[in-house]
């Protein structure tokens, strides 16, 4: 294992870019992923059933290349954790904005529930890759209500 010293992509976009491409943050110098091969795409091409849930802060086309199916997908950087715009899987690969809907509940719960549902329902013969990307902790720093401070007591 190679450790990059003290320089890591600890924030959202660099860490996801490093994980998806296998490149260090110093080798991801383009604003989008273009036609780079991403690991979910390679698994899909190798016979895996790939399923994407949660945040995909990249182009919709790269999501479509990577995943044969998915649910509760958020194409964006930041969003209100209680009003995250999500898409159902679009077999055309377009995922138009007008088809987005506001997820019901806190973003972590929305994505976790979709992942558990996939695990309970998947009955395919092929191996699968389940990609789940949570938006929290992320700006805006909004905890689930049960963990939030009472504003009247601050």
Structural domain spans, the chain: 33-153
Question: How confident is the model at residue 144, as a pLDDT?
Answer: 76
DSSP 115: H
pTM across the whole model: 0.82
Q: What is the mean pLDDT of each run of 10 residues along the chain (154 residues)?
A: 55 74 68 75 97 92 94 90 94 93 94 98 96 82 78 80
pLDDT of 150 reads: 80
Are the C-beta atoms of residues 133 and 112 closer than 8 Å to each other? no
Q: Which of 43, 41, 40, 37 is nearest to 23 (CA)?
A: 37
* Bridge pairing between strands 85-86 and 101-102: antiparallel
Contact 114/37 with Cβ under 8 angstroms? no
């Amino acid at each position: 294992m190679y450790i990059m010293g003290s320089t890591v992509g600890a924030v959202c976009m660099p860490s996801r870019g490093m994980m998806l491409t296998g490149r260090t943050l110093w080798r991801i110098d383009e604003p989008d992923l273009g036609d780079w091969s991403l690991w979910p795409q390679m698994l899909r091409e190798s016979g895996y059933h790939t399923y994407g849930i949660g945040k995909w802060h990249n182009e919709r086309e790269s999501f479509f290349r990577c995943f044969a199916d998915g649910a509760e997908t958020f194409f964006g950087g930041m969003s209100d954790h209680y009003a995250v715009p999500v898409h159902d899987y679009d077999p055309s690969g377009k995922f138009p904005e007008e088809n987005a809907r506001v997820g019901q509940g806190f973003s972590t719960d929305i994505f976790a529930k979709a992942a558990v549902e996939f695990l309970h329902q998947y009955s395919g013969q092929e191996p699968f890759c389940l990609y789940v990307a949570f938006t929290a902790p992320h700006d805006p720093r909004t905890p689930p209500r049960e963990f939030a401070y009472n504003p009247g007591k601050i």
